[in-house]
Structure 1
Amino acid sequence: MKLLSAIAAAALLATLPAAAQTAPPTPAGTLIDFRVDVQRSVVNDLGRATAHVELTGADAADVAHRVNAAIAGGLATAKAQPGVTVKTGNSHTYPVYGKGGRTIESWRTRSEIALESRDAAALSALLGKLQSSQLAVSQVGFAPAPETRRAAEDDAALEAIAAFQAKAARYAAALKKPYRIRSMNIGSGYAPPQPLFRGAMMAAADAAPLPAETGESTITVNLNGQIELID
């Protein structure tokens, strides 16, 4: 967003004489406010997924031991998959109470591993391998990588500035007056795509890759500005 503001400021300064760049003069002519919007489609080139193990048993220590062993196996499998980064996620143990709500009936432990990759095929293959073991996949989603999103926003901002300047010139020409840009404010919007699925999924019977379609997201840049028609 800082870069978008810098782009707008540079475009505005370029339209003003040197003496006017310190502070806009008091308006003497007609002011026109308007807005332009630009949308860009950008590929979802970063995949994120969560796999987990959740077990229940009468002995809390035994349950935790079995979960930790399964997570260790999952981490080893993930680290052996080229193109995928892995780290441990949330882990917690809590009691399961009986019908009366006063007596602990058993213990449940859940631990997660978080996966991230720019290679959708590699991530899909790894999820298939994890599902063939003791792990279940609870969430998968794809979104633009931060640098991909920033590049799309910057390109859209430049397009918005050009569209603003073209519209300003048309307005001024229609009224047969010169003009100057008094202000430009650029904002951007991005709606993260919904995960492909949420919630626990049962482990698969084999190591078939998990189907995944990365798709695209839409980046929106809006520019609000004001021009002054010079009498």
Structure 2
Amino acid sequence: MKLIATLLAGCCAGMTAQAGALVDLSAEASRPVTNDLVRASVYSEATGKSAAELAQRVNADIAEALKLIRTKAGVSVKSGRQSTYPVYSQAQKIDGWRMRSELVIESKDQGGVSELLGKLQQMRLAVGDVSLLPSPEARRQVEDEATREAIRAFRSRAEVIAEQLGKGWKIKQLNVQQGGGMPMPMLHATRTAMLADAAPAPAPLEAGESLVTTHISGQIELAD
């Protein structure tokens, strides 16, 4: 057992002695990506004395909205936030109820969504938030390009350091982080509520671009 322990200790000491200096490095690359997807929320909201009557009214509005949205090709829809809460009087007693139900729509057809939102407002629905963002496939493609560029930058920095020190090098650790490409808000609930009566259709949407960034951090080991 003593012999085995001695051999293991000698092996570990040899490995430590052969290890080179460690250097921490980082690099990043950013690429623009077109905001080719529009996401918008519409909602029905009502206040009254009976929660059951409110639910019937709001659900009817949402059902009618779903019928219209589902006739539009290339538009997806899903349920959003739903809430029912009491309205209190000055005496802090329940004086009524307020109910809100939301739908979230997404499409690459920005002009079609703008037209659809106008029709939905005419059906007594209000527009919540309208945002433009990259579609998952567009974002993924640009992320891959930014990742390739960031890795090339990381390797280039590693080669400069190793060359100046007259050393070889190898990667010991590498971390990849993606960022950017967040939704760009176009309209908010407060503004669209104010404009609902005066302008049933939102202004034309300008897609613009988002910036996708890949950050590479890691560690290299220098060797003779």
Number of the residue aligned with 2:185: 195
Which segments of structure 1 move beyond 6 Å, counting only runs of 4 or more? none
- Find the counterpart in structure 1 of residue 222 from structure 2: 229
| Alignment partners' CA distance in 2, 1:56 and 1:183 | 58
Deviation at 1:191, TM superposition (A): 5.8
Q: Please list, as runs of the form range in 1=range in 2, the aligned pairs for 1:160-171 lying within 5 A after superposition.
A: 160-171=150-161
Say what the alpha-carbon RMSD is for the aligned residues: 2.4
Question: Larger helix proportion, structure 1 or 2?
Answer: 2
Number of aligned residue pairs: 206
**Distance across 1 between alignment mates of 2:137 and 2:47:** 42
Higher-Rg member (1/2): 2
1:107-146 matched pairs, under 5 angstroms: 107-146=97-136
Contact 2:23 2:221 in 1 (8 A): yes
Q: What is the TM-score when the length of structure 1 is the normalising length?
A: 0.77
Mapped to 2, the partners of 1:92 and 1:172 lie a distance apart of 60
Question: How do 1:26-41 and structure 2 match up within 5 A?
Answer: 26=16, 27-41=18-32
Task: Note if 1:85 corresponds to 2:76.
Answer: yes
> Structure 1 residue 31: deviation in Å?
3.2
Tell me how far 1:185 sits from its aligned partner: 2.3
Q: Residue in 2 aligned with 1:216?
A: 209
Identity %: 45
Q: Does 1:98 align with 2:89?
A: yes
Give the CA deviation at 1:126.
Answer: 0.9
Aligned match of 1:54 in 45, 60, 75? Answer: 45
> Which of 158, 174, 177 is the equivalent residue of 2:167?
177
In structure 2, relative to structure 1, the CA distance for the partners of 1:226 and 1:109 (3 Å cut) is closer
Question: How big is each residue's C-alpha offset from its partner over 1:77-97, in whole Å with a ceiling of 9 and x where there is no partner?
Answer: 211222211233333333322
Is 1:68 paired with 2:59? Answer: yes
The alpha-carbon distance between structure 1 residues 28 and 53, as it changes in their structure 2 partners (threshold 3 A), is closer
CA distance in 1, matches of 2:106, 2:188: 16
Whole-angstrom CA distance in 2 between matches of 1:73 and 1:181: 59
Cα separation, partners in 2 of 1:175 and 1:95, compared to 1, 3 Å: closer
Q: Give the distance between the partners of 1:229 and 1:89, measured in 2 at CA.
A: 53
CA displacement 1:194-216 (0-9 Å, x = unmatched) = 53233243334565354323322
Asked if the contact 1:46/1:116 (under 8 Å) is kept, the reply is yes
Say whether the 8 Å CA contact 1:132–1:206 is kept in structure 2.
no
TM normalised by structure 2 equals 0.79
- Point out where structure 2 has 5 or more consecutive residues left out of the alignment: 1-14
Give 1:179 shift: 2.9
